[in-house]
Structure 1
Amino acid sequence: MSSPAEFYHSLPPITKAYGTVCLLATATYHLGLYHPAYIALFYDKVFYGFQVWRLFTNLFFLGPFSINFGIRLLMIVRYGVQLEKGPFDRRTADFLWMMIFGAFALLVLSAIPIFWSPFLAVPLVFMLLYVWSREFPNAQINIYGLVALKAFYLPWAMLALDVIFGSPLIPDLLGIIAGHLYYFFTVLHPLAGGKNILKTPMWVHKLIARWRIGVQPISRGPAANNPQQERGSGVAFRGRSYRLGG
C-alpha cells in the first residue's frame, strides 16, 4: 500500500491543485487567518467595492472541517482523478478549460438572485460529479451501503440526500446545470452534428505547455495534428457516442 505522500504525488495535476487549495482554504480558516465573509461572493462588493478577488476565492471554500467537507473533498479526489486520468488523459488543457468554464458558468448563474450562493466550491464539485456521471453512466455505485444505482443517476441521488440531511438545494443544482451545459456543448451538440463552441482556447494550451503541467499528448501521425480527429478516435468518443444513442 502506498504512503499518503506517494498517493498525493500520484494525483493528476489539476485535480491535485484544486483539492489542495480547497483543503488549505479550510485549514487557514480554522487557524483564524481570515473570515469567510471576506472571500464570499457578494456582487455589490465586487462591482461597487472593487473587491474583484471574491470572484475567485469563493470557488475554493468548501466550508469548515466536517463530514460534509470530507465528502466533498473525497468527491474531488475520486471523480476528478477518474476524469483526468480517463476521458481527459493527456488532455490536461481540456480538463483545465472544463474547470474554467464551470467556474464562469457558476458565476453567471449565481448572478440570478434565486440562484445566488456565497460560495461556489460545492457547485463546482457537483459539476465534476455530473460530468463524471455522463462519462461513466453505467458504473455501479453503492451509496453508504444502502442503495445501489448506476452512475448516471448519482448527481440526483446526492442532491436528494443533501436535501434530506438539511443542506441547501441551490448549490447542488447549480453544479448539475453547469455540468450539463459543458457536456451538452462539448459532447452532445457536436455528436448531433453541431459545432463545438467550447473548444479549448489556444491560450489554455499555451499555459499548460509553458508550465509543463501534466503529460503532453503523444504524437501519432496525422491524428495528432487534428484535435477533432483525435478526440473522435479514442475511448472517450466511443463511450460518448454509445451514451448519446442510449
Structure 2
Amino acid sequence: MAYQTFQQEYLQIPLVTRAYTTACVLTTAAVQLELITPFQLYFNPDLIFRNYQVWRLITNFLFFGPVGFNFLFNMIFLYRYCRMLEEGSFRGRTADFVFMFLFSGLLMTVFGMFVSLVFLGQAFTIMLVYVWSRRNPSVRMNFFGLLNFQAPFLPWVLMGFSLLLGNSIIVDLLGIAVGHIYFFLEDVFPDQPGGGRWLKTPGVLKALFDTPEEDGNYNPLPEERPGGFPWGEGQRLGG
C-alpha cells in the first residue's frame, strides 16, 4: 500500500523534474555503493574531447557530493524550484523547459572550462532558482525562519549561505550569470526596442515533448510550495 502511494506521488512529479532529480539521486547512490567513483563523472575537457568520454558532459551535472547536509540541501532546492518552474511558467511547455536545460547546460559547460569547476550541478540549481525568482518578483521569501525578503534576492541569499558553509561562491556566481543570460534573452530582450526572440525551441524537441492537449485531470501543486519544504518558502504579496 505504501509502495502504491509512493508510486502515485512519484508519477505526479512532472516529467523533467522527475527525470533530473531521479538521475541525481541514482548517481549519488551508485557512488555511495562504490559502483562508480566521482573520478568517472567529473568534468574534464581533455578526457571529453581527446578520449571521447562524452558522458562527462552530463554526469558532472548529476553528482552533488556524498550524502550529507550539502547533498540534501541541494536536492531539496533542485526539486523545489525545478518543479515550480515546470508547473508554473513552463506549464504545458515541456519542450521549452528541456531547451532551457540544454541551453543553460551548454553555456555553463563553456564557462566551466574557464573557472576550473569539475561538477556543475549546484550551479545548475542556482540557475533554476534565479530564473524562478525573476519570474516571481512579488513573492515574499522566508529562509529558515530567519530572513524575509523578495524572491529576486533568493539566489544572493543562497550564495551568502554557501559562503558561510565554506563553499566557493564561483559556483553560485556561475549559476546566477547563466540564469540571468537566459532570463534576459527569453523575458527581457524580446520586449526591448529593436529586440527579438533569439532563443527558439527546435521543432524536434516540440515533436518529442509537447502534446496537443493538456491532461484535464492533472493537478499541479501550488506554485509557492511544491513538496511542502519550508526552506526558502514563498508567499505572494496580497495572498
TM bracket, shorter-chain basis: 0.7 to 0.9
Structure 1: unaligned runs, 5 residues or longer = 210-215, 220-246
TM-score normalised by L of structure 2: 0.84
More relative contact order, 1 or 2 (CA 8 Å, 6+ apart): 2
Question: Within 5 A, what are the aligned runs for 1:142-153?
Answer: 142-153=142-153
Equivalent of 2:103, from 101, 104, 122?
A: 101
1:63 equivalent among 37, 45, 65: 65
Indicate the residue corresponding to 2:206 in structure 1: 205
Q: Matched residues in 1 for 2:6 and 2:99: separation?
A: 28
Where does residue 76 of structure 2 map in the other structure?
74
Asked if the contact 1:186–1:199 (Cα under 8 Å) also holds between the matched residues in 2, the reply is: no
- Cα 1:195–1:201 shift into 2, 3 Å: same
Distance 1:208 1:5 in 2: 22
* 1:190 partner SS: helix
SS of structure 2 residue aligned to 1:60: coil
More helix by share: 1
Any residues of structure 2 matched to 1:1-246 within 5 Å, and which? 3-112=5-114, 115-193=115-193, 194-209=195-210, 216-218=211-213
Q: 1:116, CA displacement in angstroms?
A: 2.1
State TM-score, norm by structure 1. 0.81
Q: Deviations over 1:5-40 (max 9, x none)?
A: 332221110011000000001011000001101110
Paired amino acid for 1:184: F
1:102-122: CA deviations, max 9, x gaps? Answer: 11010010111xx22101111
Give the % identical residues. 37
Task: Quote how far apart the aligned CAs of 1:3 are.
Answer: 4.3
Q: How many residues align?
A: 210
Cα distance in 2, alignment partners of residues 170 and 199 from structure 1: 29
Q: Secondary structure at the match of 1:101?
A: helix
Shift of 1:87: 0.6
C-alpha distance after superposition, 1:41-68 (max 9, x if no partner): 0111112222222111111111111111
